Amino acid sequence: MGFWWRFNLLVFTIAILSTPVLSDLILSKVDRRIDLTSQIVRITSTLKVENAGSGLVSEVLLAFPELQAKNLVYLMATTNEGKGKTKSSGVSLPVEVANPKGMPPALTVYSVSLPKALGEGDTMSLDVLAVFTHTLKPFPEKITQADIQLVLFQDSAYYLSPYAVKFQSLSIKLPDARIESYTKIENTKIHGSEIKYGPYENLPPFSYSPLVVHFEINQPFAVAQELVREIEVSHWGNVQVTEHCNIVHEGAKSEGEFSRLEYQARPHIRGSSAIRHFVAKLPPRAHSIYYRDEIGNISTSHLWADSKKTELLIEPRYPMFGGWRTAFIIGYSLPLQDFLFESEGKRFLNISFASPINDLVIDNLVVKVVLPEGSRDLSVSTPFPVKQRQESKISHLDVVGRPVIVLEKADVVPEHNQYFQIHYSFNKLSMLREPFMLISGFFFLFVACIVYVHVDLSISKSSASYLAKLQWDEVRATIQQVESIINQCLATHEKIEASLRDLSRIGDVQACKTTRKTADGLLKEHSKELKPLLAFLQSSPAAANILPKVEELVAKERELQERWMAKHSIIVDCYEKKLGGREIENRVAPQQQKVVALRQEVEDLLEYIDEI
Amino acid sequence: MAPKPITSPVPDSWYPTLSVSMLAIGLVITASFFIYEATSSKRNRSLAKELTTGALASFFLGFGSLFLLLASGIYV
């Protein structure tokens, strides 16, 4: 209570002692609306500015008492064109801190630059939105579970301005709950949960009248002391957002004990000001959403998705009363094409800055944007000033690390949840670096296998077993060659069989004969190749047990060859003599049987040799 | 000019199919590599054939494992 006495005294002094004459602007009409329905105080003022002097005026000054300005986190001025229904959303005007001379102390002054200078007698209309945090003071400061939460709001009933105000009115919107007390001065009316002060006419500059409202508010007072928002961009089609939140209930502190039974039986009487849940508005097409904390997954959450947004309702593990805190992590994935764009050869990421959780005041917001490895020439553009620095993060399949841009801002409210851009350039071929790493990893394994098989790791090069192994290897190689030659011979036999079939279909004897000639040539070559191999096998001692089988195989194959040739000659002969089909069959029959039997034996032997 | 949205060079919906097929091909080629190693004797082995089979197998296995990571949600 002592606080606001001192404050009022100070400002009264200012009002009485100072009468500087600034530029000749007059505010002909001021409409102020103070919205006290949540922990964030929003004051919207519609000013009608009139140039009563002779010079051109290109800026309008807005003044706030210093103690109030300490909690000012967002100030926006827009032009207000048109009246009533034809009002268009005006152009936002640049606002800066100004230090004009002759201002009384303990005032923070902001200067709004007008788009075109105001001439003599001209008027224009401005909309100013000022957002304050930590302005509603809980009073009493400590309450029990059953008490209602009452807060105190202080401001001035007269609009504090460096200009004279001809006509002003003020309306305060309170939540639909109990109003304990409010300052009653002239022209004060109360309608339900709205208090109207005014209209007041012809007030001098820097006029101030203290105003205190003491009322009940049950809206959640959720304040995130630190919120770290990590946005990881992957060019393979995904933007992963992870938010680490540490939230405190900054309303009236809870004293006494917490009775879960009372809370669940009558939640609106025992625990009316507790924070029960948070609602987050995520972009549409968000998927793979998780909600967990250090203990593990928290399952008390609900999700509704439609084409414009994805709404996530999360309940902390316990209802939060005054002074209680909770910490959790929310993560979600967004499709890349909604947020990453290309223009003029550079890529840029267009994504919202603050947290998607509704009605959250963030004391310190850290946004980390992780770009893929190989991104260069990073530049950031934000709609409001932020602190910036760059780091590096090593993540999946990284060699040097990914560039991380860290943006920090203090005192963030949902009005700051605007889009910001990060521009960078990226060579498309750098995307191949990741599969290339995996490919080279696998290739290294294969090369290791090859080296292992080729390298001779035996310790003693003259031991009996080593020499025996060497000899067996050679025998095996020779046998494989023998096998391949035999297979080629068999293939030649098949060719002869095919030519015989062709003969029976077409009757072209000449073609048959030429095939026979080529087959003969091939078979002669094969037998020539077989000779040295057989000689080697005969000389090598290690092949002793397999040699008889191999020789048997070669002999059988030769016999098969002879039978085939005989059959072929008979059939060709018969065709030349133009004998009938049955004659041919009779003559061929004995050969045919032998051929089939021999072929079967050759194949069996090949299999047997293979298995050794 | 209006900024153009950037998407992945390979459509998202193909990731699971691509990963399974590339891994299958890669494993088949790996199998043929090891069969060749096991059945050939010292003299018949050809280093060029081994290296090409190994390179081809590692190419398919590398891409297959990349798409497997992407399909399971680890956007590398």
- Comparing alpha-carbon positions, the chain B residue that sits nearest to A372 is B76
Write out residues 4-43 of B within 8 Å (CB-CB) of A.
Answer: 4-10, 12, 33-34, 37, 41-43
With H, G, I as helix, E, B as strand and everything else as coil, classify residue A542: helix
A452 near B CB under 8 A: no
Angstrom CA distances, A448 to A455, A457, A504, B18, stand at 10, 14, 57, 28
Q: Which site among A446, A458, A482 would you substitute to test the B interface, given the most B Cβ atoms closer than 10 Å to its Cβ?
A: A446
Parallel, antiparallel, or unpaired for β A361-370 and A222-234?
parallel
Residue A156 contacts residue A165 (beta carbons within 8 Å):
no
Residue B71 contacts residue A451 (beta carbons within 8 Å):
no
A442 → closest Cβ in B12, B44, B62: B62
- Comparing alpha-carbon positions, the chain B residue that sits nearest to A233 is B75
Closest chain A C-alpha to B50 CA, distance in angstroms: 7
A442 → closest Cβ in B41, B42, B61: B61
Which ipTM did the prediction report? 0.95
In chain A, which residues have their Cβ closer than 8 Å to the Cβ of B57?
Answer: 442, 446
Backbone angles phi, psi at A67, to 5 degrees: -65, -35
Q: Tokens 């009757």, residue?
A: A507
In chain B, which residues have their Cβ closer than 8 Å to the Cβ of A234?
Answer: 75-76
A446 → closest Cβ in B10, B45, B58: B58
Burial A302-330 (b: 16+ CB within 10 A, else e): eeeeeeebbbbebbbeebbbbebebebbb
Write the DSSP symbol of residue A268: T
What pLDDT score does A117 carry?
A: 81
SS3 content of chain B, % helix, strand, coil (to 5): 70, 5, 30
Residue of A171, A268, A172 whose CA lies nearest to A215: A172
In sequence order, the 6+-apart residues with CB closer than 8 A to the CB of A255 are A142, A143, A144
Q: What is the mean pLDDT of each run of 10 residues along chain A (612 residues)?
A: 59 52 78 93 92 82 87 87 53 74 80 83 88 92 90 91 90 91 89 89 88 91 94 93 95 89 86 90 94 94 94 94 94 94 91 93 95 92 93 91 95 93 92 91 93 81 80 79 81 81 76 80 82 80 74 79 79 74 72 77 77 70
> In what helix (H) or strand (E) does residue A540 lie, and over which residues does it extend?
none
Test B6 with A473 for CB contact under 8 angstroms.
Answer: no
The pTM for the full model equals 0.79
Please tell me the distance from the alpha carbon of residue A292 to that of residue A491, in angstroms, as a whole number: 69
What pLDDT score does A85 carry?
A: 46
